[in-house]
Amino acid sequence: MDAVTASIGQGKQDPSVGDGATSSLKDRIARDLGQRILAGTYAQHALLPTEAELCVIYGASRTALRDALLTLSAKGLIEARKRAGTRVRVSSEWNRLDAQVLEWMRDIEPDLDFVRGLIEARLVIEPAAAQLAAKMATSGDLAVIEAAYEAMRVAPEDDLAACLDADVRFHTAILRASRNPVFANLGNMLAAALSFSFRLTTSATANYQQTLSAHGDVLEAIRMRRVDEAHDQMKALIGIASNDLLAVARKGRHQQPAAAAKADPSRA
């Protein structure tokens, strides 16, 4: 047994423990294997251990294991072929905007390429959405954006969950206020991705008041129908978050949790 599978085996738990054991074990297997793939422990194109080996490693039935592998396959992380085994797919095929995949990524060291990709996508999408919102937003749309901003303003800086919730609501409200159906749907899809990045930046921002002020500038530009200013203020706001996000990624903020996850897969 190689070092990777041996390390998994060290965290093996008795699958009979607790209610809903099969479902819970399936989820733990999917999470652990998913995190190992995302972290590069199982490299792209690499073969996973056989079903029989994985059943032994995780103390799982074939049913629980196959359900876990189906979960990973649906998220684009692996592909199974008859007589060829189960192989890790290339990273460009991974569905990293899937809410569960993003949750798994929170507990491993940030992928700098993915972080950059989030920044680049936001810099393209959100300033354009703010620009459209300044033209198209209804009074109801403006009320939703303002309510999210006020929630940010009154949230204690040490209450990450409250800050995160309000921040995500602010940005998704602007995407919807653009009255562009594609942007509105992107808001639904990207909410989990925004949560992932905000979890890093909200706790990392050296000057939360600067970030809060930048959100207020975006709101004011949209409310006053200043189209070009709304675009520029949103671009500036994302610039602040971008600097924080890249700083966190470079420091490997999640290095210790990642190490713990590898040492003890039962945490998954």
How many other CB atoms are found less than 10 A from the CB of residue 123?
Answer: 15
Residues in contact with 189: Cβ distance below 8 Å, sequence separation at least 6, in sequence order? 97
Q: Which of 61, 8, 2 is nearest to 33 (CA)?
A: 8
Which tens digits make up the pLDDT trace of 118-171?
A: 888 899 999 999 999 999 999 999 999 999 999 999 998 888 889 889 999 999
CA atoms within 13 A on the CB side of 170: 28
| Regions of the chain short of the pLDDT cut 70 | 1-23, 202-207, 246, 248-268
pTM of the model: 0.75
How many other CB atoms are found less than 10 A from the CB of residue 112?
Answer: 13
Contact present, 89 and 232 (Cβ < 8 Å): no
Counting every residue, how long is the chain?
A: 268
- End-to-end alpha carbon distance in the chain: 22
Q: Which of 21, 91, 224 is nearest to 233 (CA)?
A: 224
Per-residue HEC secondary structure of 27-66 comes to HHHHHHHHHHHHHCCCCCCCECCCHHHHHHHHCCCHHHHH
Strand partners, 8: none
